[in-house]
Homo-oligomer: A and B are copies of this chain.
Amino acid sequence: MKLTISKNELNDAIQQVAKAISSRPAIPILGGIKIDVTHQGVTLTASDTEISIQSFIPVERDNLFIAHVDKPGSVVLPAKFFVEIIKKLPSDNVEIQVGAQFQTMIRSGSSDIQMVGLDPEEFPILPSIEENGLFQMPGDLLKTMIRQTVLAASTNEQTAVLTGVLWTLNNQQLKFIATDRHRLASRNAHTETDPEYRFSNVIIAAKTLVELSKLVPEQNALVDIVVADNQVMFKLGNVLFYTRMLDGMYPDTSKIIPQTYKTELVVDTKNLMDAIDRAYLMSREEKTNIVRLITLDDNSIEISSSSTELGRVTEQIDAKKFEGEPLRISFNSKFMLDVLKVIDSEQIFIGFTGAMSPIIIKPTDHSYNMYVILPYRTTT
């Protein structure tokens, strides 16, 4: 293998695939990045067995040469050093040459680096995925749906399915749901797919979706998504992102969502967020994060929290709308802040069915988004 390649193009591809490298690889070869060179271009691959990322650098783009291939071939290079040295090389071009026993020479300007390469045959083969179940969605919509749901996923590995986000597709409606049993986030969107195409119980780890989200380009390009038996593949331009689905059945969450409300509020999202943020500072000192919401007579609500050692925060907010029964309810301020930070609407609707029943939070300007928070049972 022998090639000369643009340092910046190589570095960009390395940064993309490096996200799949575990700090404690299951087998030593997975601590490396596989490099496959053909006359068409250079493919980098990294994997931690749960996720695998592949990035392709073509030899030319828009009639500009990116790489000059003298001799095709493959090698695996230890990732930690390789990731850092490439971006620090002195010249804009990098020459890479693999000799006997995968001894690799990297040259750039006055730098001369020898690396002990590994046998690419030892690198696991990526799953082959049949493209019969492909659908597409805009990259920024995918990012938004991830951001608006992952917050409610569990971080407790004991119930593995709840550390994931449930994906279903039915009647062209794509839906994401996440819950840790104390709160629930749901987001759906219409997608331009074959109306016959559907899937259910596709569960993808929330932390995988956060990593995927970082790889989605800012430009609003379409992402190809292929759902196979136990794998999902995402095609983001020149990058392929593979993830395993989480095993198990996701619980039925439809029953915990109330359909009617006894008290309905509409408030300004930012005013509520700022008030709860201040109450949160006090509640955090008590390690409970409990804040209380009380409806007042004059179309306003009071948010408060208290700490025996520190004191008390009391906030008053005007309600844009207040209908139904007066209410006193306590909930986890951190959970509410997480929701208010990702709702991109100026005003929100909050529906209550009593002090012991789930709280529903929705944007006022569309119905794609819905959150549920279970209240605290307190005596005050």
User: Smallest CB–CB gap between A349 and chain B, Å?
Assistant: 21
Q: A314 — which chain B residues lie within 8 A by C-beta?
A: 111-114
User: Does A275 belong to the interface (CB within 8 Å)?
Assistant: yes
User: Smallest CB–CB gap between A59 and chain B, Å?
Assistant: 27
Cβ–Cβ contact A85 & B309, under 8 A: no
1/0 contact trace for A61-94 toward B, CB 8 Å? 0000000000000000010110011001110000
Cβ–Cβ contact A310 & B112, under 8 A: no
Cβ–Cβ contact A116 & B315, under 8 A: no
User: Smallest CB–CB gap between A55 and chain B, Å?
Assistant: 22
Q: A23 — which chain B residues lie within 8 A by C-beta?
A: none
Q: A110 — which chain B residues lie within 8 A by C-beta?
A: 275, 315-317
**Which residues of A in the span 303-331 have a Cβ within 8 Å of any Cβ on B?**
309-317
Q: A12 — which chain B residues lie within 8 A by C-beta?
A: none
User: Does A235 belong to the interface (CB within 8 Å)?
Assistant: no
Cβ–Cβ contact B81 & A116, under 8 A: no
Chain A interface (Cβ < 8 Å from any Cβ of B): 78, 80-81, 84-85, 88-90, 104, 110-116, 274-275, 277-278, 281-282, 285, 309-317
A-B contact pairs, 6 of them (CB 8 A): A84-B281, A85-B278, A111-B278, A112-B315, A112-B316, A113-B278
